[in-house]
Structure 1
């Protein structure tokens, strides 16, 4: 008969693999979120640069057509920033979900590990009792 701890160890190995997969997925989601945040910062920085250029051009008395070009481009940047913020929000939600998935799997692995340890301790105690019984049965008998 196979020991209980060995059956649980097989389950534990499967759970550990699943936990590693969830941890890797969480890591990928975090990288995607960070990339989306960096892109948002780039867009915001670019917009600020263009706003500064627009202000300088206006102060320098630039042609109206040039100022309209600046305004049009700044408006497109604003739309891109709004879209990127939406993407950042989505990535943050996905990251939180992946973290929750990994956390639940991690908790499961720890619980299974505790069961395995408990079963192994039980089996060691049972083995010690059997050995003691054999020793007692073989010992000098008083009659």
Structure 2
């Protein structure tokens, strides 16, 4: 049982590390979802803006107004491109964080199994010692009563 007690802090530390990595993964997933929502909003805004430009174009517009629409449309395209790049980078980070969490989780589970095995081995050894002590006690008792 001594080895089991010595391993408990190691197990606890492994558990804390795996939990911390799991929380980091969850937070990153939530950030990605938020950024994907922003991207969807940008697409929707871009589509609304195109529809508005089309309606204005049918009613007639000046060249200056057309340039303004086009300039803003290009800004939207850049914002959408930037948002997609951000999401791609975050997804790559997510894969790295996920792999790190997997490794820590495997380590934690391996330590749990090892400690369980150590406990079983210690229990078996203790049972053997108790049986040996019981046998020794019985042998001595039998010897003592035989000499009387």
Normalized against structure 2, the TM-score is what? 0.90
Q: Which residue of 2 aligns with 1:54?
A: 53
Distance 1:141 1:14 in 2: 52
What is the SS of the residue equivalent to 1:62?
coil
Whether 1:28 and 2:24 are equivalent positions in the alignment is: no
State how far apart, in whole Å, the 2-side matches of 1:29 and 1:101 are. 13
Looking at CA atoms only, which structure, 1 or 2, has the larger radius of gyration? 2
CA–CA separation in structure 1 for the residues paired with 2:46 and 2:96: 32
Q: 126-135 or 35-44: which moved more?
A: 35-44
Contact 1:57–1:67 (Cα < 8 Å) also in 2 = no
Q: Structure 2 unaligned segments of length 5 or more: list them.
A: none
In structure 1, C-alpha distance between the alignment counterparts of 2:47 and 2:103, rounded to whole Å: 42
Q: For residues 70 and 118 of structure 1, what CA distance do their matches in structure 2 show?
A: 71
TM-score by length of 1: 0.93
Residues 18-68 of structure 1: CA deviation (Å, up to 9, x unaligned)? 111111111111112111111111111111110111111111112222222
Q: Report the Cα distance in structure 2 between the residues aligned to 1:131 and 1:43, rounded to whole angstroms.
A: 74
Kindly tell me the number of residue pairs found equivalent between the two proteins: 142
Is the CA contact (8 Å cut-off) linking 1:18 and 1:105 kept in structure 2? Answer: yes
Alignment-derived partner of residue 71 in structure 2: 72
Distance in 2 (alpha carbons) for counterparts of 1:45 and 1:94 = 27
